[in-house]
Amino acid sequence: MVHSNRIQLICEGRALTITERTLRVETGRDTQEFPVTADPFLVEDECFLRADPDDNPGGVLCDCADALATHPVAFAIQSAAR
């Protein structure tokens, strides 16, 4: 089974749907899709691997300790979605 994550925002006059691969904007009259040009997971991984905490701390959004602390939360969300 393939799972797809998406966020949908319903606004006055439009609906925005964000997935790993596209941003879709629906207005009721037309629909526009904007594809992702790079794999966001690969980009995130590359930034993490290139970052040196001493020389380039801005390369990642959190340090390893924070990432490990949030892993159980991410796993619980994934498990609940099944």
The answer on 74 and 51 residing in a single domain is: yes
CB 9 within 8 A of CB 3: no
Q: How does pLDDT run across 47-64, given as a tens digit for each residue?
A: 777 776 666 666 676 777
Residues 32 and 72 in one domain: no
Same domain as 51, residue 32 = no
What is the domain range of residue 55?
Answer: 38-82
Same domain, 78 and 43: yes
CA dist., res. 39 & res. 20, Å (int)? 8
Per-residue model confidence as pLDDT tens digits over 18-51:
988 899 999 999 999 999 888 877 887 887 777 7
Q: Please check whether residues 1 and 22 belong to one and the same domain.
A: yes
54 and 72 inside one domain:
yes
